Amino acid sequence: MADLHTEVWIRQILEGFYPDRSFLKYARDLSKLVDNDKINLAEAGLDPVVLINNTTYPIQVAQRIDRPISVELDKFETENTLVRRPEVIEYSYDQLESVIRGHRSSLQAKTSEKAAHAFAPDEDSEFTPIIQTTGDIYDKRKMLTYLDIIELKRRFDMVDIPLEKRYLVLSPQHVSDLLWQDVKLFKDLTDMKDGKPFNFAGFNMLQYSRMPKYDKSGSGGGWKKVPFGNTTASKSFCSFAFQGDEVMKSDGQLYMYVRRDDPMERGTIVGFDKRFIAMPLRNKGIGAIVSSEE
């Protein structure tokens, strides 16, 4: 019975872990490739050259060389929660199940935050454009405009990023910026229909709050992504974009630790480990719009 309860609680954690509004729902799921909490990938070599009206034979043979990559999944651990038996008896609902849902929410929040940081480009480049906002000054920053989104589309178009599966994940501040400019237009864009996000300038529009940060420490004083977890540096927030086939997520083992009927604590103690990783597949087809300071 104890094992059955553990299985039920683990299923409760996993069920709907990526809701429709989560940007992670739209990344490639490579969980089937996970082996012993590692994933083995390959960095693809060059694509073949295409000849037009060729008259020279035999055609040259070029070997494609793929570089194997082995990546260990990150380990996310929740702090343990104690549920004392006398308290459970007093409450009208099952407190332990409520605690399990709390662990699920915490794991969702932290894995998404790590993934958002991974999907945002490190610095501006041809295949990983970073542009800055150009709107009016508000709260000591330039607001996001619709033209900024169109500029990001242009940068994607210039390097032939596929038009399909483009997603723009907006920070709440940038959502407010767009609402300020045109309430009706952006309300239409942000209302999901049939579980699918609306589209503007070729981007499917999503929203997320725990955004990566940037500062001006990049090459030539350009934008550079601040390391994950750094809370001391001066930094600006962003919205980020990706093409769905250029980013991945992988889930590994989820393990539940439980100590039932602890005699000293007079209750049950639970905690979880989850293995997970999300990252770009080849540092291409990702971008960001950084809120420029005044």
Q: Which are the contacts of 73, defined by CB distance < 8 A and separation ≥ 6?
A: 34, 37, 38, 39, 250, 252, 275, 276, 277
Cα distances from 181 to residues 144, 177, 238, in angstroms, run 10, 7, 19
3-state secondary structure of 60: coil
3-state secondary structure of 114: helix
Question: What domain range includes position 13?
Answer: 1-294
Q: Which residue has the tokens 């790590």?
A: 114
Count up the domains in the chain and report the number.
1
Tokens coding 18: 């990526």
Can you list the alpha helix ranges (DSSP code H) found in the chain? 2-14, 85-90, 95-119, 146-158, 172-181, 183-190
Q: For 30-43, write each residue's pLDDT tens digit.
A: 999 999 999 887 66
Please tell me what DSSP assigns to residue 192. Answer: -
For residue 4, the model assigns a pLDDT of 44
Residue 193: pLDDT band with limits 50, 70, 90: low
Tokens coding 19: 């809701």
Whether the predicted pLDDT of 182 surpasses 70: yes
Residue 177: pLDDT band with limits 50, 70, 90: very high
Contact 250, 33 (CB under 8 A): yes
Residue 214: pLDDT band with limits 50, 70, 90: very high
First CA to last CA distance, the chain = 61
Give the CATH number of the domain where residue 206 resides: 3.90.1690
Contact 253, 275 (CB under 8 A): yes
Contact 124, 218 (CB under 8 A): yes
Q: For 237-286, write each residue's pLDDT tens digit.
A: 999 999 999 999 999 999 999 888 888 888 888 899 999 999 999 899 99
Q: How far apart are CA 83 and CA 268, in angstroms?
A: 5
Say how far residue 266 (Cα) sits from the centre of its chain: 40
For residue 87, the model assigns a pLDDT of 60
Q: How far apart are CA 95 and CA 103, in angstroms?
A: 13
Q: Which are the contacts of 39, defined by CB distance < 8 A and separation ≥ 6?
A: 30, 33, 70, 71, 73, 250, 277
Q: How far apart are CA 203 and CA 169, in angstroms?
A: 9
H/E run at residue 34: strand 34-35
Tokens coding 277: 């990783």
pTM (2 decimals)? Answer: 0.85
Whether the predicted pLDDT of 151 surpasses 50: yes
Q: For 84-134, write each residue's pLDDT tens digit.
A: 876 655 454 567 778 888 999 999 999 999 999 999 999 999 999 999 999
Cβ count near 239 (within 10 Å): 30
